């Protein structure tokens, strides 16, 4: 048995579950900054950047739009040139309760408008490094939430007949 055994993957090569990492940048102190997309298997990919040394996460550009791969790469590179965090290793995978809380928090923020908000899997791209869950897990959780609390999240069959559409309902206004 070797004296020094690595039990966790190296942060330089780690890929969070449910993502496809397209680029990696090295920050000043050796921290890895990922450029990734969610592995949704659908249409145009939306990208995000995440630092494995600090809490930096970005899934929107300066105009508030979802990022393309070149925009996410530029953002990750800019962060890598300024980040002074030391490597923390691979983030711990949260348990299912904590991962569900992250999703509910993201959904809850959408309730403050006056109209229903259609939920897309891309709404969770920026959370994928923290969630470390596949797309199927997220869909199952959304279905569970819709069944348990239809006043918060509704599920309806999509117009194409394939899949389900989820919609966050706004707070009831008097």
Q: Is the dihedral of CA 79, 81, 83, 89 positive or negative?
A: positive
Yes or no: say if 115 and 163 are a contact pair by the CB < 8 Å rule: no
Token code pair at residue 40: 């949704």
Residue 148 CA to chain centroid, in angstroms?
23
CA distance 130 to 126: 8
pLDDT at res. 76: 96
User: Are 130 and 105 a contacting pair, CB within 8 Å?
Assistant: no
Q: Are 41 and 135 in contact (CB under 8 A)?
A: yes
Nearest alpha carbon to residue 169 among 102, 95, 119, 133: 119
Edge-to-edge strand ranges of the sheet holding 47-51 = 19-26, 32-38, 47-51, 57-58
Q: Report pLDDT for 57.
A: 95
CA distances from 117 to 10, 32, 61, 113, 168 (A): 38, 34, 21, 8, 5
CA atoms within 13 A on the CB side of 151: 3
| Residue 147 CB neighbours (<10 A) | 10
**Residue 13 confidence (pLDDT):** 83
Element (H, E) at 142: helix 135-148
> Which segments in the chain show pLDDT lower than 50?
1, 3-8
- pLDDT at 8 (0 to 100): 46
pLDDT value of residue 41: 61
pTM to 2 decimal places: 0.84
């Amino acid at each position: 048995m070797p004296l020094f055994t690595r039990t966790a993957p190296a942060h330089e090569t780690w890929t969070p579950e449910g993502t496809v990492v397209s680029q990696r940048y090295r920050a000043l102190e050796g921290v890895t900054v990922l450029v990734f997309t969610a592995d949704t298997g659908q249409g145009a990919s939306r990208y995000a950047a995440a630092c494995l040394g600090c809490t930096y996460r970005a899934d929107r550009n300066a105009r508030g739009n979802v990022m393309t791969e070149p925009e996410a790469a530029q953002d990750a590179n800019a962060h890598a040139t300024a980040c002074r965090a030391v490597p923390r290793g691979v983030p711990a995978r949260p348990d299912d309760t904590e991962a569900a809380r992250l999703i509910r928090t993201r959904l809850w923020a959408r309730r403050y408008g006056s109209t229903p908000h259609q939920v897309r899997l891309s709404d969770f791209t920026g959370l994928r490094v923290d969630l470390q869950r596949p797309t199927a897990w997220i869909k199952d959780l959304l279905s569970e939430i819709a069944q348990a609390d239809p006043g918060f999240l509704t599920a309806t069959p999509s117009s194409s007949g394939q899949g389900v559409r989820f919609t966050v309902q706004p707070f009831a206004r008097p």
